[in-house]
């Protein structure tokens, strides 16, 4: 009975042409003879891998996305090599058909069998070119995309894919026909210095089963009850473990729509940007409460910062508690995002006594400083607080004293007082606090800057 190694080299090469690229590489290392016979295909594989594994479209001289699509049309084997695509803001998004590169591309399209390819160039933007590319790469793992309009062909592709996975689970659609089956990381950003990219890009991509990391820069928009119900009914629960929104401003209902479908989320980071991105108030306490409701069993790292100058002025939720979080180990946020609103406490505690003249006299009892220990989860290991107020010493000292009862795993506190101001008196107080905290097994670091760390 003949075995594989007994076959002529010509027949082996013919067999190799039907073997998956990655499988051929693995097969070639099992035998010197197979490696020698497959040297040509392996060399071709290496060249294509070097050229197409990571592709960045960021050139203004011509349309890099068209060039990539043209390569795919000429050699469909290219589809198997792309793993990372970056459609950067610097790419050529729009063009005039009289541009020199476009004239060259027009001539290229005439040599293609399908006249529809020429129509993509006549549209004078890269929307449908990118849509075709997203549909072309079955093994794509990382995608960075800067859309230059809200409603575009690529968005329709993502929406159809996300809803398609739900239909496939219900047996209404073959799973093998769906795109993005190997995609793990997606990143989106707005193309300008003002305005925003819709949160729906992140929401739909997060519902694709293979996706684990979702990043957005300058994310905005709000949603309605009808839209929220549509998301809940037509999308799968997310497998994503990391969600980052830097310099963003999403509505609280949009935020809830995203988080309520992410039960496996382990890392969340959000940096509020204010009206330069979108016109929605920042309610950090409400966001924490939503996270506590839907991710209390999974969340391990939480960053929540106000990158504007007035985010906490419109905060409607007066109090927050993180005690429901079971896995939260690191927390980095602003003092006002965590502690009770001092104005709210003052209204509650102070008792004004009416005088005979019709005036009021305030009670001389000053409201007590807030307690932080009772707000924190028992799993917390590291706490970072920015813009701490004047009573930081008493509040953080109390935290250390109540550590064993409330957060026994706490090992480090990083803090920055209001405006990061330093002086001899404050330095002495910091030194005293460090010595006190050391007695409770807590390391203290006073930083000049605590802020948003993208991707954490």
For the stretch 184-204, pLDDT in tens is: 999 999 989 899 999 999 999
**What is the model's pTM?**
0.88
- The three-class DSSP label of residue 369 is coil
- Residue 208: per-residue pLDDT: 97
Q: How far apart are CA 236 and CA 177, in angstroms?
A: 17
Please give the backbone phi and psi of residue 353, each rounded to the nearest 5 degrees, phi first.
-105, 125
Q: How far apart are CA 218 and CA 192, in angstroms?
A: 9
Q: What is the pLDDT of residues 300-355, one digit of tens each?
A: 999 999 988 766 766 788 889 999 999 999 999 999 898 865 555 444 444 444 55
Strands (DSSP E) found in 3-99? 54-57, 84-87
* Range of lowest pLDDT (184-193, 360-369, 397-406): 360-369
- Number of Cβ atoms within 10 Å of the Cβ of 137: 25
Q: How far apart are CA 37 and CA 16, in angstroms?
A: 10
- Residue 346: per-residue pLDDT: 46
Torsion of CA 75, 81, 84, 85, to 10 degrees: 0
Q: What is the pLDDT of residues 165-183, one digit of tens each?
A: 999 999 998 888 899 999 9
């Amino acid at each position: 009975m003949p075995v594989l190694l007994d076959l002529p080299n010509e027949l082996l090469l013919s067999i190799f042409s039907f073997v998956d690229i990655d499988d051929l590489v693995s097969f070639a290392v099992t035998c010197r003879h197979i490696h020698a016979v497959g040297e040509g295909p392996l060399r071709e594989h290496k060249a294509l891998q070097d050229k197409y594994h990571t592709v960045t479209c960021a050139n203004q001289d011509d349309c890099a996305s068209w060039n990539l699509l043209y390569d795919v049309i000429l050699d469909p084997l290219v589809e198997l090599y792309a793993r990372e695509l970056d459609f950067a803001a610097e790419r050529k998004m729009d063009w005039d058909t009289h541009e020199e590169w476009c004239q060259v591309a027009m001539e290229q399209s005439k040599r293609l069998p399908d006249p529809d390819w020429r129509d993509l160039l006549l549209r004078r933007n890269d929307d449908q070119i990118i849509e075709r590319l997203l549909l072309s790469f079955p093994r794509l793992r990382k995608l960075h995309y800067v859309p230059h309009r809200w409603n575009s062909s690529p968005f329709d592709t993502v929406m159809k894919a996300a809803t398609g996975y739900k239909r496939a689970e219900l047996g209404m659609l073959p799973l093998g026909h769906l795109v993005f089956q190997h995609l793990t990381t997606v990143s989106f950003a707005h193309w300008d210095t003002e305005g925003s990219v819709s949160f729906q890009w992140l929401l739909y991509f997060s519902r694709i089963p293979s996706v684990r990391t979702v990043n957005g820069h300058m994310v905005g928009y709000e949603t309605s009850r009808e839209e929220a119900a549509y998301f809940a009914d037509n999308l799968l629960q997310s497998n994503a473990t990391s969600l980052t929104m830097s310099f963003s401003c999403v509505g609280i209902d949009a935020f809830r729509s995203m988080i309520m479908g992410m039960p496996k989320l382990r890392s969340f980071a959000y940096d509020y940007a204010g009206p330069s991105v979108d016109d929605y108030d920042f309610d950090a306490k409400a966001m924490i409460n939503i996270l506590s409701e839907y991710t209390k069993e999974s969340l391990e790292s939480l960053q929540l910062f106000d990158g504007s100058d007035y985010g906490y002025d419109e905060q409607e939720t007066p109090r927050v508690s993180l005690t429901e979080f079971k896995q939260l180990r690191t927390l980095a946020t602003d003092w006002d995002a965590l502690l009770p609103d001092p104005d709210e406490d003052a209204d509650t505690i102070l008792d004004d006594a009416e005088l005979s003249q019709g005036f009021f006299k305030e009670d001389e009892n000053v409201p007590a400083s807030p307690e932080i220990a009772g707000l924190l989860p028992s799993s917390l290991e590291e706490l970072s607080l920015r813009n701490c107020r004047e009573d930081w010493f008493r509040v953080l000292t109390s935290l250390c004293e109540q550590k064993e009862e409330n957060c026994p795993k706490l090992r480090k506190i990083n803090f920055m007082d209001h405006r990061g101001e330093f002086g001899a008196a404050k330095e002495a107080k910091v030194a005293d606090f460090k010595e006190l905290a050391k007695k409770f097994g807590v390391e203290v670091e006073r930083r000049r800057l605590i802020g948003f760390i993208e991707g954490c």
